């Protein structure tokens, strides 16, 4: 009986057209979409565009016919992710500084995002932390994440010995919200299960380490800072202490610059 079944299958195969395509047809899936409004130095200003969810500012510029010759793209965060209802403004060269590139539709305070972007823009390509030299990983995008009452940005650095450091700044609407995020991070990070406070640095702070690497977190007013070193094989010693001072120096420079503007 089995031989007859095999023979029948062979006959069917022999009779099938040579160009028969038996590849399964892909079933398209709906991609969530967002609607944004773009103004400023683009070829089609004051226009509304429907984009795929996860689109960036650069996608909105392309949808509006591209940037004009006088667009000041150096002031634009082209990789900023858009949300439904955002207004994107592309400044022209010489235009006075105003609102952020993408004005959120939600309750997020624009000054919060603007300060965070200024901090990220001020980060140097190389940070000398004692005997350790951290170099910014330009192949890894800055990871912006919205939090309750604020937003954080994570920037990646490497060092010659194979070490990896992730530097996170978070700016919140109020000091209370920043403190809440600090306390949540301290409770949830396994590296801080046995955290200690080091009084040579601004308090509150928490330092800890273990199987998952090492972490140091801080909060000053409405700004949260995290220095995370998930991988470090150098013999230069503790990587956290030498990094604590530069991260505050960077913040102080940005705040001082903002006060003089």
Residues 90 and 121 in one domain: no
Chain segment 21-43, per-residue pLDDT in tens: 555 555 555 668 888 889 889 99
Looking only at the bridges linking them, the beta strands covering 223-231 and 213-220 are antiparallel
Residues 117 and 195 in one domain: yes
Residue 130's domain is classified under what CATH number?
A: 3.40.1000
Band of the pLDDT at 109, cuts 50, 70, 90?
A: very low
Residues 98 and 134 in one domain: no
Pick from 165, 119, 110, 173: nearest CA to 181: 173
pTM of structure: 0.58
Is the distance from CB of 49 to CB of 61 less than 8 angstroms?
A: no
Least confident among 74-83, 113-122, 187-196: 74-83
Mean pLDDT of 39-58: 90
List the domain range (segments joined by +) for residue 65: 33-106
User: What is the number of structural domains in the chain?
Assistant: 2
Among residues 83, 106, 129, the one where a domain terminates is 106
| 1 falls within a domain | no
pLDDT for res 35:
83
Residues 117 and 191 in one domain: yes
């Amino acid at each position: 009986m089995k031989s007859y079944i095999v023979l029948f299958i062979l006959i069917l195969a022999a009779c099938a057209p040579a160009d028969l395509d038996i590849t399964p047809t892909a079933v398209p899936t709906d991609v969530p979409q967002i609607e944004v409004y773009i103004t400023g130095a683009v070829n089609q200003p004051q226009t509304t565009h429907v984009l795929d969810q996860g689109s960036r500012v650069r996608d909105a510029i392309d949808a509006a016919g591209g940037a004009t010759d006088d667009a000041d793209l150096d002031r634009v965060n082209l990789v900023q992710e858009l949300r439904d209802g955002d207004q994107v403004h592309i400044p022209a060269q010489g235009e006075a500084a105003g609102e952020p590139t993408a004005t959120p539709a939600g309750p997020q305070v624009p000054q919060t995002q603007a300060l965070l972007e200024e901090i990220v823009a001020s980060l140097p390509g190389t940070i000398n932390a004692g005997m350790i030299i951290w170099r910014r990983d330009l192949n890894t995008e800055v990871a912006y994440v919205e939090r309750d009452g604020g937003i954080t940005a994570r920037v990646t650095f490497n060092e010659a010995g194979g070490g990896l450091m992730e530097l996170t700044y978070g700016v919140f609407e109020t000091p209370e919200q920043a403190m809440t995020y600090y306390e949540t991070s301290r409770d949830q990070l396994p590296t801080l299960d046995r955290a200690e406070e080091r009084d040579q640095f601004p308090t509150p702070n928490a330092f800890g380490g273990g199987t998952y690497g090492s972490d140091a977190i801080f909060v000053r007013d409405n700004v949260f800072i995290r220095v995370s070193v998930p991988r470090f094989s150098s013999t230069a010693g503790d990587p956290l202490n030498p990094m604590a001072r530069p991260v505050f120096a960077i913040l102080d420079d940005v705040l001082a610059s903002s006060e003089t503007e």
